[in-house]
Chains A and B, each alone.
Chain A
Amino acid sequence: MAKRIDVHGLTAYYGAHKAIEDITMHVEPTSVTAFIGPSGCGKSTLLRTLNRMHEVTPGGRVEGKVLLDNEDLYGPEVDPVAVRRTVGMVFQRPNPFPTMSIYDNVAAGLRLNGIRYRKSELDDIVERNLRGANLWHEVKDRLNRPGSGLSGGQQQRLCIARAIAVEPEVLLMDEPCSALDPISTLAIEDLIDKLKTRYTIVIVTHNMQQAARVSDRTAFFNLPAVGRPGRLIEVDATEKIFSNPSVPDTEDYISGRFG
């Protein structure tokens, strides 16, 4: 099930621009790891290298290693499509497929991968994952309505249901609550707490309180200077980072002295 991620000397580029440089860290299985840091420091870029979504951007390329339970994601014969099936992702803005109903959105990952299911089987999967995303009770009477008709928070939970329906082992979340109100944010955070018993979760957030609330480990990233690539400053248990960080920059950032 949930897998451990080891990042070794990872450098990522957008064309000639180096976005992050020489990142080495690991992510524990069945736990929540938060990435924090100022805008443009490469948190999202690092997140996108973990399921090979970085290379979807034109000019995006990566040097270094990302090991998923000791298997290098950037190895010579690795299929990026297979990687993305194992490492799911939830984006900053809720993005349900506009042509599909709520039901079809949850089933999209399975159907689009060309796997044929019996109707009853698919019904079970859809219900299980909507329950898993704490959305079932709100939508069970309108599964055939378009997903775009839901509220922002519901759409985001629909996207989470869609992501976990393909049964990934790792779930990456790129600022999943930044477009949501506090109540929806709370719903998502409760959900993250529930999901971490089964998945390895990595979450990028700009909200320090959120990082403190939901994560077990926190990684702080920073830019040494404008135009320079982002670097990992430190990664440690969340309590330690928020109470007694070993690098003064981290404390400055967390206490709001800059950033």
Chain B
Amino acid sequence: MTGRLRPPEDPGGEEERLRAAMPPGEPGPTRDLPAGAPGARPPAAPSPAPPGAAPPPAPRPVLRPPRLPRWSLAALLTGSLAVGTAAGLICRLSSHLQWGLIAAAVFVAATFGLTARVEGRRRAADRLAALLVWACFAVAVLPLAALVGETVARGAPGVDGYFLTHSMNGVLSWQHGGGVYHALLGTLEQVLLASLLALPVGLLTAVYLVEYGRGRLAAVVTFFVDVMAGIPSIVAGLFVLSLWITILDLGYSGLAGSLALALLMTPIVVRSTEEMLRLVPNELREAALALGVPKWRTTLRVVLPTCAGGIATGVMLALARIAGETAPILLLVFGTNMINRDPFHGAQSSLPLYVYEQWSFGTEPAYERAWAAALVLIALVMLLNLLARALARWKGPRPGP
């Protein structure tokens, strides 16, 4: 028997595949397929030779190994769902999630087993890996889809022109009406101010680290950027509270909140921009330098435009992160029901803070307003994201024809 000559770790897939494709006259001694097994294609019979021609060449099983038919996966899926439902009913599992998990486990095991039997170990492992990747994708995307779906479903009825253009001034928690205008305005102003503070510092720090920084100073800067990235938002808020409001006695304002947001935003911008700058091939820098272009102009006109798309994406992630911050806003901007257009004096509101406030009222109209404001916040971040992508496409590397 040939099996003896094989090294022991050989899974035997090849052997099995060869056997399965052999004409039925030669019995596969160990694991022959039952004739009626689902998906077992009839072994490739040599096509009838034209009369008078040479005898047909021997079939080449290696190049045309047996495959499961397309419908087998659908059949397996249906079967697994049936098994899951049956198991759920029999064991009286109340959660449909458990039914689904049982069905999924049965599906994976059955697919692996059947594929291993018909198509061989390698293809079975391939299918298993593909299933795992799809499962991970589903685990990652389902919560997002559910979150967006839930927010849209609950928030959309509350979002209208009135909601977007009115504040909560004079509206009691159990009353209908009221709006999000003051919070939207506050969020926009605070995020804009924070960006004005954080973007120049973050971008220039990244340019320094990648293009100029050598030796100890660069290492120290990198270390402190990492430390900053780990600061919890409430700590940033407390720091600004103690400095700006307690010591300097400058009072609550949108600007105070922006300071804390800028602290949170800077390290994100530095790290993402740094990564993007490092992706720019050195050849482009050398090409520009060899044309007699000074280094600063090379950085500004060649390096930065080349990775503008990546930088914009990083900046957007940072913006999205700070637009949803509540803790420092609660401490530093204080919150108000009235419209305050001036971010430098007096309390303002912001969307996450508004959602938090409305939720804590616990009345039905307030819940509705909270969902609607959450939808507005998500839409705002999405809009900023699309804007940044458009900008990056406009300025970034041009794709070939």
Interface residues of A (CB under 8 A from B): 51, 53, 56, 58, 81-86, 88-89, 91, 93, 95, 97-101, 108-109, 112-114, 145-146, 148-149, 159, 162-163, 166
Contact = CB atoms under 8 A, between A and B. Distances in A.
Contacts of A162: 287, 291
Closest 4 CB pairs of A and B: A85-B292, A149-B400, A146-B398, A98-B397
A58 B283 CA distance: 14
Give the most central of A83, A99, A113: most B CB within 10 Å: A99
B286 A99 contact: no
A113 B401 contact: no
A166 B398 contact: no
Contacts of B281: 95
B292 A84 contact: yes
Contacts of B400: 146, 148-149
Contact of A114 (B289, B297, B308): B297
B298 A112 contact: yes
**Interface majority SS on A: helix, strand, loop or mixed?**
mixed
B396 interface: yes
B401 A112 contact: no
B289 A97 contact: no
B64 interface: no
B290 interface: yes
B51 interface: no
B214 interface: yes
Contacts of B305: 99
A112 B289 CA distance: 10
Given A97-B284, A97-B306, A99-B305, A148 B292 contact: no
A99 B290 contact: no
Interface in B232-268: none
Contacts of A89: 286, 290
B36 interface: no
B294 A81 contact: yes
A109 B62 CA distance: 58
Contacts of A93: 283
B181 to A, nearest CB: 40
A8 B3 CA distance: 72
A84 B286 contact: no
Interface in B285-328: 285-294, 297-298, 301-302, 305-306, 308
28 contacts: A51-B290, A53-B290, A56-B285, A81-B294, A85-B291, A85-B292, A89-B286, A89-B290, A91-B283, A93-B283, A95-B283, A95-B284, A95-B286, A98-B284, A99-B305, A99-B308, A99-B398, A100-B398, A112-B291, A112-B297, A112-B298, A145-B401, A146-B397, A146-B399, A162-B291, A163-B290, A163-B291, A166-B292
A82 B287 CA distance: 15
B273 to A, nearest CB: 17
Contact of A95 (B287, B297, B397, B398): B287
Contacts of B285: 56
A58 B355 CA distance: 52
A99 B397 CA distance: 4
Nearest to A90: B290
Given A93-B283, A99-B305, A84 B396 contact: no
A84 B287 contact: no
Contacts of B396: 99
B290 A148 contact: no
Contact of A58 (B214, B284, B290, B398): B214
B395 interface: yes
Interface string B357-401: 000000000000000000000000000000000000001111111
Interface in B23-66: none
Nearest to B283: A95
Nearest to A162: B291
A112 B292 CA distance: 9
Nearest to B395: A99
B292 A109 contact: yes
A113 B298 CA distance: 10
Contacts of B397: 98-99, 146, 148
A25 B286 CA distance: 26
B288 A112 contact: yes
A204 to B, nearest CB: 14
Given A97-B306, A99-B306, A112 B399 contact: no
Nearest to A146: B398
Contacts of A109: 291-293
A187 to B, nearest CB: 20
A100 B301 CA distance: 10
A209 B395 CA distance: 43
Contacts of A58: 214
B290 A98 contact: no
Nearest to B397: A98
Contact of B292 (A81, A95, A145, A149): A81
A56 B289 contact: yes
Contacts of A83: 292
Contacts of B401: 145-146, 149
Given A95-B284, A149-B401, 4 more contacts: A95-B286, A108-B291, A146-B399, A148-B398
